[in-house]
Structure 1
Amino acid sequence: MFTGIIEETGEVRDVREVGDGRRLVVSAEVVLSDVVVGASICVDGCCLTVVEHGEDEQGSWFGVDAVPETLDRTTLGGITPGEPINLERSMAADGRFGGHIVQGHVDTVTVVEAIHEHLDGSKRITFRLPSSLSGQIVVKGSVCLDGVSLTVAGLGEGSFDVAVVPHTLHVTTLGCLRAGDSVNVEVDVVARYVAGLVSRLDSMAGGQG
């Protein structure tokens, strides 16, 4: 489990084919301070398992494997060397819970529709609202975008907004977003279960009619 509070941005060092999937090699420092093979790291919102790690003349690094399902459903399928990437270790039992419950199970990918910059350095970013997530994203509710815990600031016709403070823009990849860019989306886990329960109840009611 994660919290959506990014610990650092790493850089994709290498992407290579491994069977039907791919191995991503990422340069990092903070998340590797206590890393072991088998540890979970949230990579741009995707929970992945560390399969190797080390240090060389370019610095410390770790490797994770992404299976076809992950590559098909997330932005990791199109990632290339040199790209910055949001990183967070799994939450320690005695750690602070600064964001919200993030599983690292991406629901879908969405697209930036517009970015409005404010005088205080913050940005209001509008994203397309996938029809599959309708009803699971609500104003003042939580949403995870590329691994970052954010609060939904507004809902439009087929879109939703988040307001991002300067600090978050600076320490995550959200500050680099442009209109048309794709991001990973994970809805709040409570909203996901409620939506599933309501859907099942509706199906049961329909079957009794």
Structure 2
Amino acid sequence: MKAVPKVNTDGLYLEDVLVDDAFSGVVPFYTENLPELPTKPGQPEPEATPEDVQPGDTPGQDPVIAGYIVGIPVPPGLFHPRFDLTAWRQYQDSIQAAEAAYQEAMSAWNSTPEEERGGRPVLNIPPMPALWIEGLTPQEIERITAPQPQALSELDRLGTELVARELEMLEIRRQNETLGAQVVGLELRLLSLEGNPSEGGETFV
């Protein structure tokens, strides 16, 4: 068994699935296209539609392609891989065209007298293009790769709160010292007034 990518109908990667080691190519998987029947009070709800149903599993129903199982590994470096289904179909068409040309050339070669045949035709399969591409836009990639503010750890958070409390205590202490100095000044002023009664007043006998 081996793990291969599973994509949706747009080619976007969904998950890996296990298949036989001999699996290759691109194979669709299906979901049932069941009509929605109205339910009456007291009747049970219709059963949920299975996600993966192969054609012919349900007679009389038209299966709908839900995605594809791809036997081509995903290359590294893609944020959200997307399998280019259009390029894959074009590649299959080019292989079929190459095979058809080879069969035609072989038929002509076999029908030619041996002394006039020349070299045996060769099947030229076109090279496979890059079928996995980036599924995200540059803006989406920039957004997810932008530096994110680091969340404070519990220790950092407690340290920050402790520093804030110490600063509050220092401010309260400063205010208390200022008020204490004002009180001392008032007491000294009162003592000064008590020790020096006002002069110039008249004394009555």
Provide the TM-score with structure 1 as the length reference.
Answer: 0.24
Q: Which has the higher contact order (CA 8 A, sep 6+)?
A: 1
TM-score normalized by the length of structure 2: 0.24
Q: Which has the higher strand share?
A: 1
Q: Larger C-alpha radius of gyration, 1 or 2?
A: 2
